[in-house]
Structure 1
Amino acid sequence: MALLAGSGELLEPLAGALRARGWTVHTGREAPEGAERLDLVVDCVEADGHEAQLAALRETLLLAGRTQPLLERAAGDTRAAFVTVTRLDGRLGLSGTAGVERAVPGGVTGLVKTLAIEAPALFCRALDLAPELPAGRCAEVFLAELYDAERALTEVGHAADGTRVTVTPADEVDPSSPGEPGAAAPGADDLLVVTGGARGVTASCVLGLARQHRTSLLLLGRTPLTAEPGWASGVAEDGLRAAAAAELKRSGAKPSPRAVEAMAREVTGVREIRGTLADLRAAGAGAEYLAVDVSDADAVREALAPHRARVTGVVHGAGVLADGLVRDKKAGDVDRVLATKLTGLRNVLGALDGERVRHVVLFSSVAGFFGNRGQSDYAMANEALNRWACALRARAPRTRVTSVNWGAWAGGMVTPALEKMFAERGVTLIPVEEGVRYFVEQFSAERAADTVCVVGPRSPLSAREPAPLPAGGLVLRRDLAATAADPVIADHAVGGVPVLPATAAVGGLLGAVHRAAPGTRVTSVRQFQVHKGVVFDDARPDVLETTVRQVDGAPEYEVSVRDGSGRPRYRALLVAGPALAAARVTGLPQGGGGAPVPYYEDGTLFHGPALRGITGVLDAGRRLVLAARLADPGIARGAWQAPGYSPVLSDLLLQAVLVWARVHRGEAVLPTAVGEVELLAPLPAGEPFRLVVDAVSETASGIRCTVTACTPDGRVLQRMREVEAVPSPGLAAKFAAASRS
């Protein structure tokens, strides 16, 4: 049963596409009365106007909360999905072409990513479709994404030109396309409006800016800058609560913990504001504080009117939290979180002369970029800020516009208890001085091209826990058409017939576990067997069905691959866990690339150019040592890859086994099984590494050995143990024919 909510021209086409697939479809924002489960919830998030867009985000979050229990009930025996659909630009709003007026709905990705963390049993995806795509094509794309095997992927766009867009953090801005140079760094003649800037980490940041550039600052905050009450005069911060309680008793009021805390917090806040102003002025910067609620448009306009002609930039650091799980969120809390971030920015920018504004720096958060447990509304607000920044940059390319997605600071909103929790989970906090330095750098020429950036660890503050698999296992289907047409497969042909590399099959098994149990780290593939394999001849299968079963709740997964008729093709046991202990290979030959390799020309190896990565012979003894280096073109656009694993580079390990068999037995062999593949570190694409074949024993049917890939100095990257390889009649002739072609 599916529930479709929202509005827009796509609602009926999507409903029709689902009905054509056999779905029972209901429309509206409430599950049908008496419904005990839902298999799919879709919300088309479309609205015109700022307030309507905020309301749409709020209603999408509340819909997710209401339907989550019904979806989780269905997830025990089938895929249950929560999907949002927007029509921004087909690139998740990150191209900026949707415009500032349509940036806010892009914040829905923050909800989807957070729901994926809080409800790991659900398939969660935010889908953005280009407005130019016809409704029929949108329905096709929607169905394809709904049935996508990649469960860990939470946001996808489809552009007008057919490009499929996803989001991953890059190490740096691409220097080949820096865009416009942006505004010069601010100076003493500039005046920046800073929201939320009189306290906390934002205050620390603008103080660093003032010390560097002497920029004048106009700080906006909600706390009135009142005179300190007599009861607090001369009292240190650690004594304020006791003094507040005594004042309440003196006045005849009950000193409740809430009242005491409120009185002490107000005094502390005013002191912090005054301290910030004093520090800014001591740094040589002009500084003024205005008490105003940035979510009140009239109040903001009135407060900024006297300064409008001088303001040249905005630093938007204001934000509030109302933490709680998606299923527990209240409308009022959501509205308050969204209004502070989004209505606040709209009001401040609307009160200024846009022609004069040359700097816009927004304080966003990795809570939005990655999602964060308990912060779905905050994640939405910050993701909307990211889209807003892209739209502003597109509209005014010479304005410095950056949305900084901060990780957790060592300070700010991180309490000692939270700091301890982050430490236990290995999350590194941003030291205040480091964060301030990065903020100040944002105003330099080197950072002028930044638009959306992540500062701090490139990992979420809260991870998605793997969901238990259905009792019967999860079945994934893979169409083989793209693989059959791939040029790398053409270079893996025996006797002129392309064959799927065994290492690609291993990659498919790894990918299946990654999709079935997102967040799982597989470190070992055991008992890998090739039953029939996949030969791309006239009898090749059109699809493969991969079944992933968890072994008795342990971090182990039985993975089997069959074709459409049920015939076994591959099988293995995949083991997850912490990273394997570092290992080294000793006694490696020293020196350069070794003796020239004849193996691709003399019939030892059958591999074509894309797979020819053995570059030299360092030791041809019983312990064979080869030099290797190979670019990684991928297979079928990476369809057989997995995190940290390349089937193209891993194929070189099995090639080394074939070399050993020819050198020492004078025969051609093919691998049929691998006892264990140990995954310690990724193989380096385009960089040199070594292949070592040892522990060889000769069996009745062929050979069994260990082959290790390591760095030139011996650090183990990947190891295959108990590799079994066997000869077959006519194999040598087929290898020889391949080497001549």
Structure 2
Amino acid sequence: MKLAKRINSSSVFLVSGGARGVTSECVITLAQQYQCKFILLGRSPIIKIEPEYVKNYFDEYGLKKSIMEYQLSQAQKPTPISVQKIFNQISASREIKNTLSRLRQAGGSAEYFNIDVTDYVSLQAKVTHFSAITGIIHGAGNLADKLIEKKTEQDFEIVYAAKVQGLENLLSCVNIAQLQHIVLFSSTSGFYGNIGQTDYAMANEILNKSAHLIQQKYPNCHVVAINWGPWESGMVTPELKKAFTERNIGIIPVEVGTQMLVKELNSSKATPQVLVTSPVFPPATEFNLELKTYRIRRQLILDENPFLQDHIIAGKPVLPATCAMSWIINTCENIYSGYRLFSCKNFKVLKGIIFDETFVDEYILDIQEKAKDNNIQEVEVFARISSEKSQKVRYHFSGEFKFLREIPSAPLYTLPEEQKDTIPPWKDNNFYQNWVGMLFHGVSFQGMNKFITFSQEKFTAECFWQKIEAKQQGQFPVQWFNPYALDVSTHPLGIWLQHFYQKSALPASFERYEQFAPIPCNEDFYVTTEIKSESDFSTVADFVIFNSQGKVSARLFEVTFIRWFT
């Protein structure tokens, strides 16, 4: 793919909603950086000569007071609606003038046109006079927040049209083939959803999908839908701020958000959709204290889970135990909105799921609530995966899982100094080719880099799991729990087993698992393994998984590995 041209002083951006709010701050920052030109579109008119009675008032209180006094002097009865209407007109006009002034001071140039982006006829009549447009920034948007049962068709049209019809109109008025940049201001509401914003979420998600389609059709254009979280300024009402606070969503400072836009447009790797927000956690579920049970049936389809081709034992794809855990964990986290896994105990591999003659069309996940508490915000369940064949029930995996609203702070673990003299002089560190007895894993599960220390009792290894595409993950997506990286964390033990005992083993059970943070992906992480016992038939070990700063992501205690071939 040929990269889009860099922004420079010759670049000309057509900008909807660009003279006010967040979008105006973004174009001002672009002007400071590149001294380019902007054609700004907005619904608010510029008041060239303000009425005398407002000229010396600039704060909201003083301006509204002056408007009321003027209405009284004209024998008019001031009402909140009439005062607010005039206030909005004056404030909008002043903001537009201020934007144009700041753009000139930044070294850029701009023209403003009072045009509603949903008005195609007016838009086309004005835009066709500009032949050198090289980019579009679509920042226009409206809100009409209400619960869905209270929304009207007019509410939907106001919100939907500004985003979707606005984009269609902008693209219809320019020569898309000559565009170098298309930036769509979307929202995390489209990505995550938000109460009262069904129409806004729908419109923004259409922008997200449009970015992908446009990028495919015009690969030489840098196309991106930026899913912004809430800004310090912008369409964030007090009600929305409260909702964001309840979900631990941080507010984006203006100077941070604008620099993120510049960085994105400077990136040599065009990504059609970018999420800019802090991690989003849904509101906590208010439990009905009656203990419940759930039964979920699922078909496992080999072709829809490409990663399974990287986990083949004795010639057959085998579902990793960590993926069985993720099946249970992800299901529970969907049931208990706002809660995440903290611990699992007494997890057992009873009968693995193998894609051979024992495979069945349907597998069953049973979840039985053991305890739940709204005050300490935790829930405990027993979960088991089973199947039926010829009227016979087979149990595959089971364990007890605890989910918390707030995960405890991660403990710290000291990365030991590298002790090269303790590490055997292997020819190279290509473990997945040279140690195939235990490390049979394909690329989806490869990540063992090197040993930091190595002894018969305890050792630390450096790992790196390269995140695989969502399509590769199939029915077992990485969320809070990462089944692929956790599997990688056990690989150093496989090398240890073959080095000292010339044997291989598979995990059969563990006493306890704790998770404080996601296991890192696309960056180095470390695993310290301590051997608790060793026999001819099994090995028992503890694991600590931590990042380069020593922050513990997860811990495994009393993991039993059973010998499976020599």
- Calculate the TM-score normalised by the size of structure 2: 0.77
Choose 503-512 or 313-322, whichever is displaced more: 503-512
Quick one: distance in 1 between partners of 2:237 and 2:307? 55
SS of 1:559 mapped into structure 2:
strand
Structure 2: where are the runs of 5+ without partners?
373-377
Shift of 1:631: 6.3
Shift of 1:616: 6.0
Shift of 1:244: 1.7
Residue equivalent to 2:229 = 407
Contact 1:366 1:454 in 2 (8 A): no
Which of 268, 271, 274 is the matching residue for 2:94? 271
Give the direction of change, closer, same or farther, for the CA distance of 1:527–1:187 in structure 2 (3 Å limit). same
Which of 425, 438, 456 is the matching residue for 1:607? 438
Quick one: distance in 1 between partners of 2:139 and 2:306? 52
Q: Kindly indicate whether residue 387 of structure 2 is the aligned counterpart of residue 563 of structure 1.
A: yes
Choose 311-320 or 353-362, whichever is displaced more: 353-362
Quick one: distance in 2 between partners of 1:497 and 1:364? 44
Residue equivalent to 1:365 = 187
Contact 1:626 1:656 in 2 (8 A): no
Give the direction of change, closer, same or farther, for the CA distance of 1:675–1:255 in structure 2 (3 Å limit). same
Quick one: distance in 2 between partners of 1:477 and 1:246? 69
Quick one: distance in 2 between partners of 1:312 and 1:684? 37
Quick one: distance in 2 between partners of 1:395 and 1:589? 52
Q: Kindly indicate whether residue 510 of structure 2 is the aligned counterpart of residue 674 of structure 1.
A: yes
Shift of 1:476: 2.8
Contact 1:410 1:430 in 2 (8 A): yes
Which of 424, 434, 445 is the matching residue for 1:596? 424
Please tell me the residue identity of whatever aligns with 2:152.
Answer: K
Choose 466-475 or 311-320, whichever is displaced more: 466-475
Contact 1:605 1:655 in 2 (8 A): no
Please tell me the residue identity of whatever aligns with 1:579.
Answer: I
Q: Kindly indicate whether residue 126 of structure 2 is the aligned counterpart of residue 292 of structure 1.
A: no
Give the direction of change, closer, same or farther, for the CA distance of 1:654–1:501 in structure 2 (3 Å limit). farther
Residue equivalent to 1:87 = none
Q: How does 1:92-103 map to 2 (within 5 A)?
A: none
Contact 1:480 1:543 in 2 (8 A): no
Contact 2:296 2:364 in 1 (8 A): yes
Residue equivalent to 1:250 = 73
Give the direction of change, closer, same or farther, for the CA distance of 1:542–1:330 in structure 2 (3 Å limit). closer
Please tell me the residue identity of whatever aligns with 1:646.
Answer: P
Shift of 1:320: 1.2
Quick one: distance in 1 between partners of 2:216 and 2:200? 25
Q: Report the structure, 1 or 2, having the larger strand content.
A: 2
Give the direction of change, closer, same or farther, for the CA distance of 1:641–1:280 in structure 2 (3 Å limit). closer
Please tell me the residue identity of whatever aligns with 2:69.
Answer: A
Please tell me the residue identity of whatever aligns with 2:80.
Answer: P
Give the direction of change, closer, same or farther, for the CA distance of 1:548–1:186 in structure 2 (3 Å limit). same
Please tell me the residue identity of whatever aligns with 2:155.
Answer: D
Q: How does 1:321-332 map to 2 (within 5 A)?
A: 321-332=143-154
Shift of 1:547: 0.8
Q: How does 1:140-289 map to 2 (within 5 A)?
A: 179-187=1-9, 191-226=12-47, 227-238=49-60, 239-289=62-112
Q: How does 1:682-693 map to 2 (within 5 A)?
A: 682=519, 689-693=526-530
Identity among equivalent pairs (%) = 27
SS of 1:566 mapped into structure 2:
strand
Contact 1:195 1:219 in 2 (8 A): yes
SS of 1:609 mapped into structure 2:
coil
Shift of 1:411: 1.1
Residue equivalent to 1:430 = 252
Contact 1:503 1:648 in 2 (8 A): no
Residue equivalent to 2:375 = none
Give the direction of change, closer, same or farther, for the CA distance of 1:455–1:228 in structure 2 (3 Å limit). farther
SS of 1:581 mapped into structure 2:
coil
SS of 1:473 mapped into structure 2:
strand
Please tell me the residue identity of whatever aligns with 2:20.
Answer: R
Contact 2:38 2:110 in 1 (8 A): yes
Contact 1:520 1:576 in 2 (8 A): yes
Shift of 1:574: 0.8
Which of 291, 312, 336 is the matching residue for 2:158? 336
Q: How does 1:691-702 map to 2 (within 5 A)?
A: 691-693=528-530
Please tell me the residue identity of whatever aligns with 1:453.
Answer: Q
Please tell me the residue identity of whatever aligns with 2:459.
Answer: V
Give the direction of change, closer, same or farther, for the CA distance of 1:632–1:443 in structure 2 (3 Å limit). closer
Residue equivalent to 1:457 = 277
Deviations 1:70-97 (A, max 9, x none): xxxxxxxxxxxxxxxxxxxxxxxxxxxx
Shift of 1:575: 0.8
Shift of 1:705: 6.2
Deviations 1:410-446 (A, max 9, x none): 21223466446545543232222233334345655x4
Deviations 1:616-638 (A, max 9, x none): 695656x4336475868999956
> How many pairs were matched up?
536
Give the direction of change, closer, same or farther, for the CA distance of 1:581–1:438 in structure 2 (3 Å limit). closer
Shift of 1:331: 0.4
Q: How does 1:499-648 map to 2 (within 5 A)?
A: 502-514=321-333, 516-517=335-336, 520-533=339-352, 543-553=362-372, 554-564=378-388, 565-577=392-404, 578-585=406-413, 590-592=418-420, 594-596=422-424, 607=438, 609-610=440-441, 618=453, 620=455, 623-625=457-459, 627=461, 643=479, 644-646=481-483
Q: CA RMSD in A?
A: 4.6
Quick one: distance in 2 between partners of 1:221 and 1:499? 58
Quick one: distance in 2 between partners of 1:243 and 1:426? 40
Contact 1:405 1:452 in 2 (8 A): no
- Calculate the TM-score normalised by the size of structure 1: 0.61
